[in-house]
Copies of this chain bind each other. A is one copy, B any other.
Amino acid sequence: MSTDETTRRAWAYLSRVVEPPHTGLRDFVETEGPEAAAAAIRARRLPAPYDALLGPTQARAEIDTAAQDLETAARLGVRLVTPEDEEWPGWQLWSLRAADTVERGGPPLALWVRGPGNLADAATAGIGVIGARNSTSYGEYVTGQLVGGLVEGGWTVVSGGAFGIDGTAHRACLGSGGTTIAVMACGIDVDYPSAHSALFAAIARDGLIVSEYPPGTTAARHRFLTRNRLVAALSTAVVVVEAGRRSGAANTAAWARKLGRPLGAVPGPVTSAMSVGCNRMIADEQAALITGAAALISLAAPDGEGGPNRGPVRTTDALAGDRQLVYEAIPARGAITADEIAVNAGVGVTAVMAALAMLEVDGFVAAVGDGWAIVRD
C-alpha cells in the first residue's frame, strides 16, 4: 500500500470514527497528522487533552470500513477530499473555525466529493440559492430567473438538493449549462430524497455533490442542520427565495449571517405563507431585498471583487488567537523569520511555527527563503 493510500485510508477511517464534524478530532488530526491520529484512536492511546476523544470514538474505533468506503467511493466516482488536497475549499471553510464553539459548527474534517469540477474553484464562485421544500410556482419561477442570471455571470449555484427551491435551483442551473454544488445531509451514495436520484445523477455528471458523511450514512434531522452550515460556507452570498414561518432555510440563513456571508431574500406577497419567512428577514433587516440576479450578484460582489474568475475575496477577519497575532506580525511587504515573528507577536516560537503551518495550509502566508511572507492575491 502506497503512503498516499495509507494516508487516504486514515482520513476515511477518521471521517467515520465519530459523527462529523468533531472539533476535538479535527484538532487532534491537525496536530498529529491523519495517520498518527487514526493509529492512536485505534490503539486507544490518546494523550491529554485528546483523551477527551476516547468516549466519542469508543463505539466506532474498531470498526474500520475505510478500505471498503474508499472502494464504494471509487466505484461511484467519488473522491475523498481532505485539507491536504489542492481542491480543498480552505478559504470558504475558514470562517467555520470561528463557529467551533457551536456544536457541530466547525469545519469538516474531510469531504466526500462526486463530480467533474474542482471543488475549491467552484465554491469560489458559489452563491447559495435556497428555500422552502413546499415552494409555490412564484418561488420556482423566481428561482429560475435568478439562477439563469447567475449562470450567465459565471457563478456556481450552491444548494441542499431538497425538494422545492433547492431542487429547482439545481435543475435551473444544469439547464442553463452552469455548475451547481449539492451539499448532502447523508452519505454521498444515498439519494435523499430518493425522488431526486435522477437529479443527483445529473449533478454528479455536470456539477458537484458534496458530503462530510461517510458512504451509507442515512439522512437525519440533525444532519440537515449540520449540512446547512456547509451550504452557507461554500457560498459567497446566500439568497432565500421562499421560506415559511418555520423553514429549514431560516437555519441556513442564520449560518450565512454567522459566517459573514451577505444574505438576501426575495420578497413575496404578504398573503403567501411561503413568503412569510423572506418578508420577515427583510423587515428585520437580516436580509437584503433581492429582486433579481443583478441585485444578488452585487450583494455577493459589491465592488465587483470576488466571484467568477476573480479569485476569492480573502478575509483575515476570521483569524483568531495565535494565528491572528502571527499573521499581523508579518510585514505587508518582504519576508521575516519565525524568530522575528515570535518577538513581534509576543508568541512562543513553537506556537508561531504551528500557526504558520496552519496559515500556510489556508494560503494566508508562504515560506520565502528562510522566512515567511504574506500571500498576495
Q: Which residues of A contact B (CB under 8 A)?
A: 138, 141-142, 266-271, 275-276, 279-280, 282-283, 288-292, 295
User: Which of A275, A276, A292 has its CB near the most chain B CB atoms (within 10 A)?
Assistant: A275
A289: which of B138, B267, B290 is its contact (CB, 8 Å)? B267
CA A266 to CA B271, docked complex, whole Å: 11
> From A275, which residue of chain B is reached at the shortest CB distance?
B267
The interface residues of chain B lying within 8 Å CB-to-CB of A282 are 267, 282, 289
CA A280 to CA B295, docked complex, whole Å: 11
Identical subunits present: 2
The interface residues of chain B lying within 8 Å CB-to-CB of A142 are 270-271
CA A341 to CA B8, docked complex, whole Å: 87
The interface residues of chain B lying within 8 Å CB-to-CB of A267 are 267-270, 275, 279, 282, 289
Known A138-B271, A267-B275; further 6 A-B contacts with Cβ < 8 A: A142-B271, A266-B270, A267-B269, A268-B270, A269-B269, A289-B289
A269: which of B138, B283, B288 is its contact (CB, 8 Å)? B138
CB distance from A165 to the nearest CB of B (A): 14
A291 and B279 within 8 A (CB)? yes
CA A376 to CA B95, docked complex, whole Å: 55
A292 and B266 within 8 A (CB)? no
> From A264, which residue of chain B is reached at the shortest CB distance?
B283
CB distance from A237 to the nearest CB of B (A): 15
The interface residues of chain B lying within 8 Å CB-to-CB of A288 are 283
> From A292, which residue of chain B is reached at the shortest CB distance?
B270
> From A241, which residue of chain B is reached at the shortest CB distance?
B270
CA A18 to CA B206, docked complex, whole Å: 73
The interface residues of chain B lying within 8 Å CB-to-CB of A271 are 138, 141-142
CA A138 to CA B138, docked complex, whole Å: 14
CA A132 to CA B74, docked complex, whole Å: 61
The interface residues of chain B lying within 8 Å CB-to-CB of A292 are 270
> From A142, which residue of chain B is reached at the shortest CB distance?
B270
A270: which of B270, B279, B283, B291 is its contact (CB, 8 Å)? B291
The interface residues of chain B lying within 8 Å CB-to-CB of A141 are 271
CA A276 to CA B295, docked complex, whole Å: 13
> From A280, which residue of chain B is reached at the shortest CB distance?
B291
CA A20 to CA B89, docked complex, whole Å: 67
Those 8 A-B pairs whose CB atoms lie nearest each other, nearest first: A267-B267, A283-B289, A270-B291, A282-B289, A267-B279, A279-B291, A138-B269, A269-B269
B268 and A283 within 8 A (CB)? no
Residue contacts A-B, CB under 8 angstroms, 30 given: A138-B269, A141-B271, A142-B270, A142-B271, A266-B270, A267-B267, A267-B268, A267-B269, A267-B270, A267-B275, A267-B279, A267-B282, A267-B289, A268-B268, A268-B269, A268-B270, A269-B269, A270-B290, A270-B291, A270-B292, A276-B291, A279-B289, A279-B291, A280-B291, A282-B282, A283-B288, A283-B289, A283-B291, A283-B295, A289-B289
CA A162 to CA B292, docked complex, whole Å: 31
CA A64 to CA B279, docked complex, whole Å: 56
User: Which of A138, A267, A271, A292 has its CB near the most chain B CB atoms (within 10 A)?
Assistant: A267
The interface residues of chain B lying within 8 Å CB-to-CB of A295 are 283
The interface residues of chain B lying within 8 Å CB-to-CB of A276 are 291
CB distance from A289 to the nearest CB of B (A): 4
> From A291, which residue of chain B is reached at the shortest CB distance?
B270
CA A275 to CA B142, docked complex, whole Å: 15
CA A276 to CA B292, docked complex, whole Å: 11
CA A292 to CA B275, docked complex, whole Å: 14
> From A266, which residue of chain B is reached at the shortest CB distance?
B270
CB distance from A43 to the nearest CB of B (A): 59
CB distance from A62 to the nearest CB of B (A): 55
